Amino acid sequence: MSNSKIYLDHNATSPLLPEVSAAMAEVEHLAFANPSSPHWAGRDARILLEDSREKLAQALGTKPQEIFFTSGGSESNNTVLRQLLMTSGEKHIISSSVEHPSVLETCRILAEQQNIQFTELAVDSSGTLAPDDLSAAIRPETELISLISANNETGKLQSIEELTKITQQQQIPFHTDLVQAFGKIECDLSTSGIDYATATAHKLGGPRGIGLLYVREGTPFQSLISGGKQERARRAGTENVILAVGFAKAVEWYLKNQSKLNEQFFKYRQSVLEEIAKLEKIFINTDLENSLPNTLNFGCHGISAESLLISLDMDGVAVSTGSACSSGAMEASHVLLAMGISRAEAKSSLRISWGWSTSSEDIDYFCARLTHHILRLQAKNKTGNP
């Protein structure tokens, strides 16, 4: 095994930024109290919490009172979707076949167990959702539309602005999962047709265990977790002030460095593309014209992703086969299958994703080891020898 340690799985989680770690350590002695307490210690914690909320609201172009802290993206997504259980009558929800499992599986559970009608929109071979398909799926009883902004497996960016024009005309609440997009691309909700948005800190160098939920002022909302009156009675439970400070700092850092980072990320992706173009039987799953610059999903015909992942791991290179939330079993990606990619190709596909800690040397090392292992495995397939 190599002594090199190269981490190319930032879409699963990103290492903690040093600036974030320092910011959290700096306030640790100030943020120990319950921010709901009326005494001086509680007030100190409350000031830090609200300052963090305001910074996140500014980053999204929203009002602070529209931002609520949660434990992460999955809780935020479930909170939006499970509101449908709080009201009576016939209900219909629209989502897509390429959503994160916290949206797609929740929609399916609501349909199977709660008799809520669910339409799962298809995508084309690039992973694109057609606005006409959304228009055709809307019914009088449609109560919510939930569509992802940036796909966690392929990096595909959807035309959310175009899609929300349809929902605004129909006056149907629109939710988008911003978990992969927030901080990496512009996410200004001030003039958007988005009513609910979800994000999390750990995808961009912030701490795990904290996310946010944006609810546009005046939009219907029912809390998922009841109890205390924290977060304006919208999410019970004592807030973790230190994590909130870390979240705000991570977003602040990423937005400050966004242009420089994305320029680097495009170069990294081009370097990988140029390297794998030299190899035989390579296929690309990412829509290179319309995707996050930090993500590339690709494969090699005849070579399993599991074999490559293990080989690279032995060399100290961490990559992924898709969503980390379902990576315990090496199954074909539901996102790739939805794009019309064969099961064999899907099981041959790797996702690499880089972030703030990635260097050009990391990419060079990855390319060298990837090429070595693909050539080795191709030769093995031809001869049948190890």
Name the residues annotated as catalytic.
Answer: 325
Task: Measure the CA–CA gap between 148 and 197, rounded to whole angstroms.
Answer: 10
- For residue 2, give every residue at least 6 positions away whose Cβ sits within 8 Å of its Cβ, in sequence order, or none: 314, 315, 316
Task: Measure the CA–CA gap between 208 and 205, rounded to whole angstroms.
Answer: 9
Q: Which two tokens stand for residue 119?
A: 């339409």
**Backbone torsions φ then ψ of 112, nearest 5 degrees:** -75, -40
